[in-house]
Amino acid sequence: MAMIDEPLYPIAVLIDELKNEDIQLRLNSIRKLSTIARALGEERTRKELIPFLSENNDDDDEVLLAMAEELGVFIPYVGGVEHANVLLPPLETLCIVEETCVRDKAVESLCRIGAQMREQDLVEFFIPLLKRLAAGEWFTARVSSCGLFHIAYPSAPEALKTELRTLYGQLCQDDMPMVRRSAATNLGKFAATVEAPHLKVDIMSMFDDLTHDDQDSVRLLAVEGCAALGKLLEPQDCIAHILPVIVNFSQDKSWRVRYMVANQLYELCEAVGPEPTRSDLVPAYVRLLRDNEAEVRIAAAGKVTKFCRILNSELAIQNILPCVKELSTDSSQHVRSALASVIMGMAPILGKDATIEQLLPIFLSLLKDEFPDVRLNIISKLDQVNQVIGIDLLSQSLLPAIVELAEDRHWRVRLAIIEYIPLLASQLGVGFFDDKLGALCMQWLKDKVYSIRDAAANNVKRLAEEFGPDWAMQHIVPQVLDMINNPHYLYRMTILHAVSVLAPVMGKDITCSKLLPVVINASKDRVPNIKFNVAKVLQSLIPIVDQSVVEKTIRPCLVELSEDPDVDVRYFATQALQSSDQQMMMSS
């Protein structure tokens, strides 16, 4: 047992804990691996620490994950790029472990190291490692290998390049679906490094294999490959090779594959260009919008605006709009809800006339939907349509919808509509708001559910911000302050909360003249909860009002509360007094 100098003690502990029984301590040591490495020096890190870590491959997954991550940034500690290859063996063993997240991290770290390695080192060390993994006995090794090709390939000499392409082709046909999935996932990255002639031949034939795979899970990933490959190919090759695949996928037997197409179609359109989009992808998209599986329609409906944006408005009106009309009365509420969340965005694309003529009836029918989420989604995007046609055409239908949502028996629905009130207020303008919505905002302050009351208080503040203190003084503050006399203490507490959030917006004059007296009054409340909330509110008002007001009004009130029989009241009053002291010291 070595004697350790006093200053080295912590680092010695850190090293010993690499093998501690307690996983937390091991994890901690691994996270400080760079400190250990610097203590050992570059040479001993290479010769001792790294081999030591390579042995340590049967540790718990959490430790291995941390190790995989640390090794990715370890090049400076082993003596720079020319020694980077010593980091490969421990990462290679981590590429074979069973836990997916550890393997993924090891692959990520290998990529990071490989990207910095010198070309001759890549050929000498990295590519052999890749080949070992790709021919690995366990599928885990082969899965990991797929993610390394794009790093190795560019540096490989011609003969090796051919070999690597062949290897990847084999991985695309592996017995294990896990390996084929990994090959499909990484195909785009690998293809980006392959030279054009090989891309058209080798990569496309691998892609072809994957698109015909028996396993749905592999074909799903091949759908994503379409967009990636499409961007690499010349437009005419893309039309010849990728387009038919997309069209086929959009009619795949598996709804999950069609679902992926519905989600990705927008990117695929970009890959193939405008003309084929019009001739082939619009019909495919229309089919997806009318798919018999609701999940597919949900995905397709959610992309309707994005898709229309790349078409011209004429095509959109001609082809997409009829489907949108059908979807607005779809039997699945989730489809309607997905449509409602994006459909407002179509207004700017279609222009004013088409919006009024075609979209408005759809908006109105969705606003009357029996499912609250659908209505909420329409309301949440109101600003987009307002820009195109103005709110007047909608306001007649809007109000009943809002009122109904405001009184929905599910409090989450009420909460959601409150969140949109400031947006509505800004869109609808002061006049409309005063007439119709003001009363609702007050009503929420007296809701049975705390979250609603809380949100209502914040809503009052946001309205004051939107329309200004003068308006608030007229339309909000008196009504709010009236409610401080509510017989139920919970409602009185809501008002105190509203006062504390309103004060900064209203400014010190109104605060002193209107808000503060109400709070001071409330300090005489018989319920201790009100009293300690008064203390909290007063504390929050201190920075807003003048020092003289603090001295004259706030502090005496707090002093009185600090002698209250209730322990909580005393506590919060004392807190407030202390903070006022600090305030004074800082300002003096």
Instruction: Tell me how far, at minimum, the Cβ of 71 lies from another protein, in Å.
Output: 13
Instruction: Tell me how far, at minimum, the Cβ of 98 lies from another protein, in Å.
Output: 4
Residue 578 burial (CB count, 10 A): 12
Looking at beta carbons only, is 259 or 363 nearer to another protein?
259
Instruction: Tell me how far, at minimum, the Cβ of 138 lies from another protein, in Å.
Output: 5
Residue with tokens 């201790």: 528
Looking at beta carbons only, is 253 or 526 nearer to another protein?
253
536 to 14, 17, 23, 569: CA distances (angstroms): 46, 48, 44, 10
Tokens describing residue 322: 């009829």
Looking at beta carbons only, is 7 or 431 nearer to another protein?
7
Looking at beta carbons only, is 146 or 269 nearer to another protein?
146
Looking at beta carbons only, is 173 or 387 nearer to another protein?
173
CB 227 within 8 A of CB 264: yes
Using CB under 8 A, list all residues that contact another protein: 1-5, 8-20, 24-25, 28-29, 31-32, 34-35, 38-45, 48-49, 52, 55, 58, 76-77, 96-100, 137-141, 175-178, 181, 214-217, 252-256, 292-295
151 to 118, 126, 207: CA distances (angstroms): 12, 9, 20
Looking at beta carbons only, is 336 or 514 nearer to another protein?
336
What's the rounded Cα separation, in Å, for the pair 240 and 576?
A: 74
C-alpha atoms less than 13 angstroms from C-alpha of 50 in its C-beta half-sphere: 25
Looking at beta carbons only, is 96 or 339 nearer to another protein?
96
Looking at beta carbons only, is 12 or 559 nearer to another protein?
12
DSSP secondary structure string for all residues of 279-346: IIIHHHHHHHHT-SSHHHHHHHHHTHHHHHHHS-HHHIIIIIHHHHHHHTT-S-HHHHHHHHHHHTTH
Classified as helix, coil or strand, 212 is coil
Looking at beta carbons only, is 175 or 563 nearer to another protein?
175
Instruction: Tell me how far, at minimum, the Cβ of 39 lies from another protein, in Å.
Output: 5
254 to 116, 177, 264, 294, 505: CA distances (angstroms): 42, 17, 16, 13, 56
Looking at beta carbons only, is 38 or 412 nearer to another protein?
38
Which residues are CB-contacts of 241 (< 8 A; sequence separation ≥ 6)?
200, 204, 207, 233
Written as one letter, the residue type at 31 is R
Count Cβ neighbours within 10 Å for each residue of 176-213 and write b for 16 or more, e otherwise: eebbbbbbbbbbbbbbbbbeeeebbebbbebbebbbeb
Largest CA distance in the chain: 90
Instruction: Tell me how far, at minimum, the Cβ of 369 lies from another protein, in Å.
Output: 22
Count Cβ neighbours within 10 Å for each residue of 314-351 and write b for 16 or more, e otherwise: eebbebbbebbeebbebebebbbbbbbbbbbbbbbbbe
Instruction: Tell me how far, at minimum, the Cβ of 62 lies from another protein, in Å.
Output: 11
